[in-house]
Structure 1
Amino acid sequence: MTQKYGYIRVSSKDQNLWRQIDAMTAQGICEENIFTDKITGGTFVRPGYEALLKIIKKEDILFIHGIDRLGRNYDEIIENWHVINRKIEADIVVLDMPLLDTRVNKNGLTGKFLSDIVLQILSYFAQLEKEKINQRQREGIAAAKKRGVKFGRPKKKIDMKYFQQITSDWRSKKITCEEATEMLDISRAHFYKIVKMYNL
């Protein structure tokens, strides 16, 4: 029996999936058949996508909202499209691009030819957009640094008297390293670094 699946991806954990989920449920896809990832499109090593590949089979239908939701790496988009459509022999429907619907003219040479051309063009622009985003980020960071903006977490001020007291308790085994770092609100690596730096 043919199953409908949906694949949804956003690039970061603070982005929500609801717009894409609504688009999938509108196609009659049940929630347990919707696979999601919150990860960059530059890689296909994704838990949701890998789980999808293990379950999708011949004559099933995979829905994605846009080709850039599948990925943003030109070669890997083409490769994974062919794995699903030609190796597994499942159909793919790109909701925002009706020309990319492998159910249409699936046995016709012209249909396959047109789909391949559209796929290659959209995959190219998906990667191009990713490269533009990365370039804008690099330029923005460089411009901010030029103006004295500092990136990363601010350095935590350490009360050395309190630190020495905690270290003394740790050395005498009154507290564990985990308890010491928790009391100081610093990482284990930072704790050992200060201990070594000041020979405590």
Structure 2
Amino acid sequence: MKLGYIRVSRDKQTTALQEDAMRQEQCERTFTDKMTGKRFDRPEFLRMLDLARAGDVIVVWRLDRLGRSLKDLIETVQALEQRGIELRSLKENIDTTTPTGKLMFHMMAALAEFERDVIRECTLAGLDAARARGRTGGRRKASETLRPEQLDRAKHLYAARQNSIAEIMALTGFKSRATFYKYVVNPEKPAENKPSTL
């Protein structure tokens, strides 16, 4: 069975071009999402995956309809491959039912893995160089970046119950809601939530 998948990022965008392509491909079922490709929890996409069986072919107008990054795309195709489901992308003329199409995706996966390895090696080398100069990697703890007067004012405003948390954060310079909750709303042990002076 051929299953067509259509996606546009916003409600106002038209799906007509993709719908025409799916009809020309004679897809038996078509699924349409109107949301960003960054999200994996697209309802129609998940419905299609639930319906798809081994031997089925998923048809997309263009590869970026499945995902916004090479990593997401490769993970999706590999998941389909494990279930015996094929993929056909019309714009790029890629068809995993053919040996050439399968080879292309294996090459893309290998290149993505190579890129991840290079980034990992560069990161580790940078950390080693920093340690050799007496510096440690990673972000500073939030308690090290909070000023005592900033924290005291935030606690005072929160106790007064006259401002929303968003307003208190804006007034006192808190960037992270998680940090605000940790040090103001639900402070930990007194020794831990007292900010150190730099």
Runs (5+) with no aligned partner, structure 1 = 123-200
Structure 1 stretches of 4+ with a deviation exceeding 6 A read 119-122
2:22 to 8, 21, 24: 24
Which residue does the alignment assign to 2:10? 12
Structure 1 residue 111, shift from structure 2 partner = 5.3
Letter in 1 for 2:85: A
Q: CA deviation at 1:120?
A: 7.7
Identity in percent: 32
- Provide the secondary structure at the position in 2 that maps to 1:19: helix
Question: Is 1:73 paired with 2:63?
Answer: no
1:36/1:59 CA distance change after superposition, 3 Å: same
**Secondary structure at 1:49 match in 2:** helix
* TM value normalised by structure 1: 0.52
Aligned to 2:31, the other structure's residue is in SS state strand
Determine the C-alpha separation between the residues in 2 that align with 1:8 and 1:120: 27
CA distance in structure 2 between the partners assigned to 1:64 and 1:119 by the alignment: 19
Equivalents in 1 of 2:101, 2:27: separation in Å?
26
Q: Cα 1:121–1:11, aligned 2, differ >3 Å: closer, same or farther?
A: farther
Distance verdict in 2 for CA 1:118–1:73, change over 3 Å: closer
- Cα gap change, 1:66 to 1:55, in 2 (>3 Å): same
Aligned pair partner of 1:58 in 20, 42, 54: 54
Q: Per-residue deviation at 1:25?
A: 0.4
CA drift of 1:121 comes to 7.7
Root-mean-square deviation (Å)? 2.1
Q: Deviations over 1:109-152 (max 9, x none)?
A: x6533233357889xxxxxxxxxxxxxxxxxxxxxxxxxxxxxx
Contact 2:5 2:45 in 1 (8 A): yes
Q: Could you tell me which amino acid in structure 2 is paired with residue 96 of structure 1?
A: K
Alignment of 1:84-123 (within 5 A): 84=80, 86-98=81-93, 100-105=94-99, 112-117=102-107
| Equivalence for 1:37 | 33
Structure 1 distance, partners of 2:33, 2:41, is 10
> How many residues are paired up?
112
Secondary structure at 2:6 match in 1: strand
CA distance in 2, matches of 1:4, 1:66: 16
The residue type equivalent to 1:92 in the other structure is L
Deviation per residue, 1:142-191 (Å, 9 max, x gap): xxxxxxxxxxxxxxxxxxxxxxxxxxxxxxxxxxxxxxxxxxxxxxxxxx
Q: Following the alignment from structure 1 to structure 2, what is the Cα–Cα distance between the partners of residues 62 and 12?
A: 22
Q: Does the aligned pair in 1 maintain the 2:74–2:105 contact within 8 Å?
A: no
Give the secondary-structure state (helix, strand or coil) at the position aligned to 1:93: strand
1:145-184 equivalences under 5 Å are: none
Deviation at 1:81, TM superposition (A): 1.1
Give the TM-score normalised by the residue count of structure 2: 0.52
**Which residue identity lines up with residue 23 of structure 1 in the other structure?**
A
